[in-house]
Chains A and B, each alone.
Chain A
């Protein structure tokens, strides 16, 4: 009982900080989502009895964005995990200049998203960007990569994968390094092929790290904002607009703080549900093993 009090006391500063930066804004969103607070009310909050939530349910743009955000998150996270795993396995092998290679791999991740997105926007520029220049020199005519929904969507995912794959690779590399070399040697002595070792030994032991990478990346991808804001601004025709971007537009462009708060809160709830679901699903397979190994 006494040690529990001490524990609580020791955790108090951190809890207070969390409450200040997380709980308070959430409560504030909750309160604001029940108010009309826009240019029409002179930005003064006026209670409107849940009208914002009713509007949300009927807001096709919100639900379209929700679908787009989910699709973006799933596609990019799956590709990042696969690519990150391949990269980690490659970087784990004893190669000449491995240290330099590892540092180089981290470069895209170290780059600020805004800078990276500007870079991609220039690469894809119609007609002056390097990609179109290359097409020109091959005798083709320039193509508006960022004015067609399909190609835009493709490049948004590609840019995200390119940037965050190193993060996943780094996490998985750390996981690979916790696997003692003699486990693999023992299996090699049994005559296992490289693929069998990967499937029967490496992957099962990496599950905790894969789970961690998945949850981290899913949370970030579902809240994607800066990449899309800079690369496409949500276009063309809203086809790459994410929920975070829509909330931002409501607040900063339409100056409708009441509805922006509603969108924000709904986004947060969706995120919570997806992450919680993902975690529960994976816990059944992987996490219990981690705790067991630690014990």
Chain B
């Protein structure tokens, strides 16, 4: 990560309000050149809103978008040199793959020969050469996604934005495409913002994750930081599957314990009764009932079940939250 001040993309107090409803609340975020930041959160959290503000497709109601220290606020989408991959891919249905790539360059008035050269190079890079004459309707989901990506990379944008680019693909394909997407997008000069609601995808794609909820930034940091040191209950609960156990042990405070941090034995602090087993092959998920409610516990698939099971944990793994506000409390 380059740390030259001002280089890359910077969102400063960026906000959007429509009809008195706040969609995005004064977001501060920096994306270094070549860095990929994932905007993660449930639907309606403001992540797509952020992307549209950076692209200039919607007007911001406050704040600035700076690229290498230059304010983009007054500029139209076309002037921002932003490439965007839409969730739907937004391929032009009446044009072939080649035509889809060509239209943007044509609109910019690029010479024919130069256009052809770039299109050929990009089609080569993404192994789309054989499909160049096909219309979008004749392509599979994965192929469409690659065409959309090709169209975005074609004109060497200064910012790359991806809006849930894989949500229309099946799980297997998503996993297969992730390394390719990383290879193509990240580690170039541009800052990349990757919007997703899928934490696996965010962890797999991004250098850092910015987690949003209800228009507010909850926490930003590396996946490991967010997982081990969540700023609040929302972050702790959103990241990690199976989800963290939240136990109300004393008034005003909640204890968070990750399923993999609970130890099954006959000497733990908490007596528990087995409710259900889910066998996952490499692990098993056990559901226990206890005096503090239901608990999820991850164990090895062959872990023996004691006669009178008890659950224990280490103090260092305890995460405490304020019951009311959800804020993280010191242990």
B78 touches A182 (CB 8 A): no
Within 8 A of B (CB), among A188-203: 188-192, 196, 200-201
Return chain B residues, CB-CB under 8 Å to A187: 92, 103-104, 107
Stretch at the interface among B81-89, B263-271, B321-329: B81-89
Q: Nearest chain B CB to A275's CB is how many angstroms away? A: 25
B88–A185 touching, CB < 8 Å: no
The distance in angstroms between the C-alpha atoms of A246 and B86, with both chains bound, is 58
Flag if A191 contacts B107 (CB, 8 Å). Answer: yes
- Quick check: B94 and A190 within 8 Å, CB to CB? no
Contacts A185-B57, A185-B77, A196-B107; is A205 near B93 (CB within 8 Å)? yes
A28 within 8 A of B: no
Q: Is A59 an interface residue (CB 8 A)?
A: no
A284 within 8 A of B: no
Contact of A188 among B78, B83, B106 (CB under 8 A): B78
Tell me the complex Cα distance, A293–B57, Å.
Answer: 27
What is the bound-complex CA distance between A187 and B76, given in angstroms?
12
Q: Are B94 and A180 in contact (CB under 8 A)?
A: no
Give the size of the chain B interface in residues (CB under 8 angstroms): 25
Knowing A189-B78, A292-B135, A292-B137, say if A183 contacts B90 (CB, 8 Å): yes
Q: A276 at interface (Cβ–Cβ under 8 A)?
A: no
At the interface, is chain A mostly helix, strand, loop or mixed?
helix
Of residues 2 through 44 on chain A, the ones whose CB sits less than 8 Å from some CB of chain B are none
A295 closest partner in B (C-beta): B137
Q: Could you tell me the distance in whole angstroms from the C-beta of B167 to the nearest C-beta in chain A?
A: 14
In the bound complex, what is the Cα–Cα distance between A192 and B107 (angstroms)? 6
A188 CA / B55 CA spacing, docked (Å): 10
The answer, yes or no, to whether A186 is at the interface (CB within 8 Å) is yes
Q: Nearest Cβ distance between residue A184 and chain B, in whole angstroms?
A: 9
Answer whether residue B79 sits at the interface, using C-beta atoms and an 8 A cutoff.
yes
CB contacts under 8 Å to A, within B102-120, are: 103-104, 106-108
Whether, in the assembled complex, A92 has its beta carbon less than 8 Å from a beta carbon of chain B, the answer is: no
Q: Which of A183, A186, A200 has the most CB of B within 10 A?
A: A186
A293 touches B137 (CB 8 A): yes
With beta carbons under 8 angstroms apart, the residue of A192, A201, A204, A289 that contacts B78 is A192
Query: With A and B bound together, what is the CA distance between A189 and B78 in angstroms?
Result: 5
A145 and B57 alpha carbons, distance in the complex (Å):
51
Known pairs A180-B90, A201-B92. 9 more at Cβ < 8 A? A188-B57, A188-B76, A189-B77, A189-B78, A190-B107, A190-B155, A200-B103, A205-B93, A293-B137
Q: List 12 A-B contacts (CB under 8 A).
A: A182-B88, A185-B77, A186-B92, A187-B92, A187-B104, A189-B55, A190-B78, A191-B76, A191-B77, A192-B107, A204-B94, A293-B137
B residues sitting closer than 8 Å to A (CB atoms) are 55, 57, 76-80, 82-84, 86, 88, 90, 92-94, 103-104, 106-108, 135, 137, 151, 155
Q: Which residues of A line the B interface, CB within 8 A? A: 180, 182-183, 185-192, 196, 200-201, 204-205, 289, 292-293, 295
